[in-house]
Structure formats: C-alpha cells, structure tokens
Amino acid sequence: MDYRRIFELVPVMVSAWFVAGCFSSGRTDPTFTGQSPRSDAVLRAAAADLGCPLTSVHIEAETNRKYVNESAFRFVIEGCGERAGYVETCELVGEPAPRGWISVDGSLACRYLLVSRVRLAPAAQPPAPGLLPGGGL
C-alpha cells in the first residue's frame, strides 16, 4: 500500500469535507430562533412580504441546495392564511454583505426572493341538500 499517496489525498479530502460543510444547507429551524441565519432570514423576508407578524410565519417545507453558485427554489413559508415560495441565491460577496443580502457564514451571503404567493382558502363546504344541481330543491 502506498501511504504517501494516501497522505497526499488527505488535504484534498479535508478541504472537500470543509467546503461541503460550509455550504451544506442542512435542516433549518421551522420558526424564528435568532440563531439560524438562513431560516431566520427567509422568515423575516416572508413576514415583510406577507404583512404578517414574525411569530406567525413558519417554514412548511425546505429543499436542499446542491451547489454554492446556484439559485434554487428553497423554502415554502406559511403564515396569516397565505403560502409563499422563495428562491435562495447565495454568493461569496465579502464583508459587509451588500444591502438585501444576509451574511450566513463569513463572506457567504444569501438573499431570498419571493416567487409565489397564494391565499390558503378554508376547506369548501358541501352545498346544502336543497341546492344540488339536477335534482335538488
């Protein structure tokens, strides 16, 4: 076994692990915590976009990011009877982060763009028996 080759690969493997760890999305908190940069940032954006108190919005669904330099549909947020979808775009922008960007890890900053918004309607009630078409009263 060529141990020199293994030791040459160790820095490469550690670097790959470090980069994956820095840009890994992982699971975020479904509610505002003040400690999770990504989920807190998108929840703040949703509260402003939906005109809803921060305590009333939560993450309903989240997708995982695959690459650093991509914009990806990332979060589904619900609150105040509405559902909003957000695209996350992240870049190495330096410090301080430009206006509208949230620093999530050193010079890595993200912004959250609203791409869909729908009103969640209450469940439809069945029509009254006398109002049924074709045979009702």
What number is the average pLDDT over the span 36-54?
91
pLDDT score for 131: 60
pLDDT at 81: 93
Q: pLDDT digits over 31-43, tens only?
A: 767 677 888 899 9
87 contacts 97 by C-beta, under 8 angstroms: no
pLDDT tens for each residue of 61-79: 988 866 666 788 899 999 9
Residue 76, helix vs strand vs coil: strand
pLDDT band for 60, please (50, 70, 90 cuts). Answer: very high
Distances (CA, A) of 110 to 31, 49, 119: 18, 17, 26
